[in-house]
Structure 1
Amino acid sequence: MPKSPQSAPDALLREADVAAEKFVAVARMLVAVALLIAVEFAFSRGPMVDVGVVEARTGARIVIGILFLTGALAYALLRFGFWSRWIAYVTVTIDILVIGLSLTGDLLEAQLPGRFAAALPTAVAALLVLAVGSLRLRPAVQIYSLVLMLALLTVALNIDHLTDATETDSVGVAVYQFFGPTANTARLAMFILCGLVLIAAAWRGQYLLRHGVEESMRRTNLVRYLPTELAPMLASGNVNELRSGRRARVALLFIDIRNSVAMEEALDPALLAQVVSAFRSRVRLAAERHGGIVDKFVGDGAFLVFGIPDPRDDDARRAIACAKAILADLAEWNRARLKAGDDEIAVGIGVHEGEAFIGAVGDDTRLEFTVLGDTVNVANRLEQATKQHEVAFIASAETLGKAGEDLALWRDLGAAELRGRPEPLHIFGFPR
């Protein structure tokens, strides 16, 4: 049966698991090296005449070597692409078994009862193994580690290997009290609490990681359908503000290629795609330079908005300047096209400023930015009116006034009856 494809968040979390496992493997090797340095330094400070001391040093080296090799093997497997969630359980089991066997061996070698297990350096290493394991951010592995470690410590604590000497002859009654049932129970409780804290840390880390990945993917999906200029609003968590929408004054620009049907029929698909892509690129760059956003491209046309995310006093001026910049850029492009034997690209542009509803509609899988209202309809009708008046660019008199335009440079087209609008609108064409 074929495996179901992974979702994007699951794939990212898998990458995070692999990266964490690599990090733990490297951390295990570094800890092993640090322990080896500490052991060598500790044993160098005392005489090496006792056979037991030599054996203890050798045993410590073996334990540290196994921990290092386990980390190196895990890293090598991950480095060459072999990964399984069971790798963590295998390495944890090896680490803890080595610690447990070493601790038991040290007790037997020193002829000490299990109650003295906490006095041995290996007991501290057990806590160190748990701490390193928490870097995986996998609570299940951490729980398994704690349970297995407690099982081995329980075995070690119950070793009863006393010599014939009495307690007072061995180490004294006072020392035994510090390692008696009460003191060791307190140590065990603190060990368990420390393990639980590490489990909580791993769980919290995994939760934050998963939440971060899912939130990132959610916002990525939203940005996929929203204008990129709205990304800061998404990053600041203002998605609900977009969804609730608001009424605001904006300047709107519609642009469309003229005689596009004839162009589509004359060009093969590859050349047509190149022309439309080049046109869109020029429109997008002009919008960026003048502080507007491309709400959407529709076929060989585009809808631009000025005043998003926040309205500005110069929205009308910037929309007019953007339209003029597009016309100037197209004029230069057309000169190059004519030299190459290609047809000119003619456009119609309509600009109008006014109040409109702005917001986002849809769900988390497809949230679309939209602008609604009479202002949108007027701007669209002005773009269509360029055909009737045979000009490249039409704007309303009100918009030109707010933009501070010199009307002497414009052609007065008088009061126009626009479809869907009860009152005529005074409009001007450009160039004169």
Structure 2
Amino acid sequence: MAYKIVTETLEQERSANRKSRNRSPQPKKNMTPSLSNDRHFERGARSILLRLAVFIILAANVLIGKGAGAEGYRFAVVIFYLAISIASVAHARFLPGRFRLKTLLVILDALLVALILHADILGGPTKGSHAVATTSLIVAFILLSDVGLTLQRRLVLVFSGIVLCAWAGMLAVVAARQPIAETAPFFAFVLNQDLGLIVSYGFTAFATYLLAKDHDRTRKEALLANRQRLNLSRFFSPLVVADLQEGSAALELERRNAVIMFVDLRDFTRFAETAPTRELASVLAHYRHLVSGTIFSHGGTVDKFIGDGVMAVFGQPKPMKDDADRALACALELVHALSNWKHQNSVAGLPAMNAGIGLHYGSVVGGILDSGCHSEFTVIGDAVNVAQRLEALTKNLSSPLVVSAALVKQLRQPAPPALWTMKNDVALAGRRLPIDIWYLQTEADDNGPPEETAQPGGAKTVLQRPSIPSPPFAAPEVGVADFPAR
């Protein structure tokens, strides 16, 4: 039951995230079906306009055409074409994915053109001075354009192949019917006009085929690139995925300053030892989804997952001036989100685990680290170790968040309101030099009176002790402490 509740909660959150992304002005992959439908609608509208033009031409040909006994033939052609057009529009509207049905309709269009050509070439007495009527040429080219709008090279090949074969076959029949004495003048006429029309139509069809083929290749390349991006996004953050696809120089191994974040669940190991496999996987997946989504929304990258631990980086592969501000905002949002998640687990009957977050700003070596058979995009250096040690301090301090003074000094904007406590010269395991830290005080903080408690953004200190210094926060007046803005 608990597993079901957590799973439903996760699905609801994912659904809410998808809706929020769809409301964003930035293009997202969730908007792809909508854009595809818009393009499909535009192509359908153009196809209807072209078919309407052909219908008007054929109807006018019936009304103003001349020739004994030809009116019935022309009228039958119009009815045949109208039936094909209705079927084509219905197919595009209700059955757009049925390729075989579309192929059949294209074949019928080609046969219609053949019937129109037949009326001009073989519909009357065979003469060497015959010529294809303008109506036939216009209809043939318009319907070729209509097929070309599908951007499917097979349909273009089928349509143009039938029309050209029928056209050439009719001319061959006319040539066979000519008396031997008239053969030479007939071939001279064919080479001057009819053959030129066939060649022109053939070149147009070939160009349309090449365009459709080029579009098909471009579409496949785009789908492949999108598939690769989706595969990469399973393992890398969005910023890293973009650089990987572009082959950016930012991925090269080099030293730079960055903010390192460590997030870890307390008592998760104890829970993992006895929890059912599916329940364990569900809780861990929900936790990772929550943490990584928050990190991505603030422009950070997830370096790696280590069991229930998450290592994130702000400023890698591309450092920005507000890396520290975004990292701190992300950490504070995570404190709130993970607190809500803990409450949801408690209601669902699952272990309500606390989380600890450590933040530090410092020099790292980041990029693609090649180790032979396996390459890794990561960061290494003392800053990573310090951030991990700060996260470990959260348990001893009963605090959800510990940040280093080095990170606070990099803040360019006042931090969001929160109750902070400062400690000087804190020793970290495995590190020779101590550092100054600030940690987030909660209502459950029972560690005794802090050295100094301050509300970022100008709130008065709780202890009101002006003799206590408050570096690195610059105190503009007695008892007031602010994050320094650079």
TM-score by length of 2: 0.63
Q: Which has the higher helix share?
A: 1
1:196–1:382 CA distance, 2 compared to 1 (3 A)? same
Residue pair 1:417, 1:424 contacting (<8 A) in 2 also = no
3-state SS, counterpart of residue 319 of structure 2: coil
> Displacement, 1:251?
0.6
Residue pair 2:54, 2:139 contacting (<8 A) in 1 also = no
Percent of aligned pairs with the same residue?
A: 24
| Superposition CA RMSD, Å | 4.7
AA matched with 1:253: M
1:16-415 alignment runs, 5 A limit? 31-44=50-63, 52=67, 55-73=69-87, 79=94, 83-85=98-100, 88=103, 90-113=104-127, 115-158=129-172, 159=174, 181-230=191-240, 233=243, 237-241=245-249, 243-264=251-272, 280=288, 283-284=291-292, 287=295, 291-327=299-335, 345-359=353-367, 369-387=377-395, 392-403=400-411, 409-415=421-427
**Deviation digits for residues 322-361 of structure 1 (CA, Å, limit 9, x no counterpart):** 4455446656777898899987643333222122233457
AA matched with 1:426: I
**Deviation digits for residues 22-56 of structure 1 (CA, Å, limit 9, x no counterpart):** 9999877654443332333455458xxx7x35x43
Residue pair 1:360, 1:367 contacting (<8 A) in 2 also = yes
Measured in 2, the distance between the counterparts of 1:338 and 1:277 equals: 17
1:60–1:45 CA distance, 2 compared to 1 (3 A)? closer
1:117–1:338 CA distance, 2 compared to 1 (3 A)? closer
Residue pair 2:262, 2:359 contacting (<8 A) in 1 also = yes
> Displacement, 1:254?
0.7
**Deviation digits for residues 75-104 of structure 1 (CA, Å, limit 9, x no counterpart):** 66674588355852x444433333334323
**Deviation digits for residues 243-290 of structure 1 (CA, Å, limit 9, x no counterpart):** 435432111111212222334468777776676566556645654675
AA matched with 1:247: R
Measured in 2, the distance between the counterparts of 1:63 and 1:269 equals: 69
1:30–1:313 CA distance, 2 compared to 1 (3 A)? closer
> Displacement, 1:410?
1.0
1:196–1:290 CA distance, 2 compared to 1 (3 A)? closer
3-state SS, counterpart of residue 416 of structure 1: coil
Aligned residues: 391
3-state SS, counterpart of residue 370 of structure 1: strand
1:92–1:114 CA distance, 2 compared to 1 (3 A)? farther
Higher relative contact order (CA 8 A, sep 6+): 1
AA matched with 1:209: R
Unpaired runs of 5+ in structure 2?
1-31, 442-449, 451-486
AA matched with 1:142: V
**Deviation digits for residues 144-186 of structure 1 (CA, Å, limit 9, x no counterpart):** 44343333222333426789xx9xxxxxx9xx99956323343
1:182–1:222 CA distance, 2 compared to 1 (3 A)? same
Measured in 1, the distance between the counterparts of 2:304 and 2:116 equals: 68
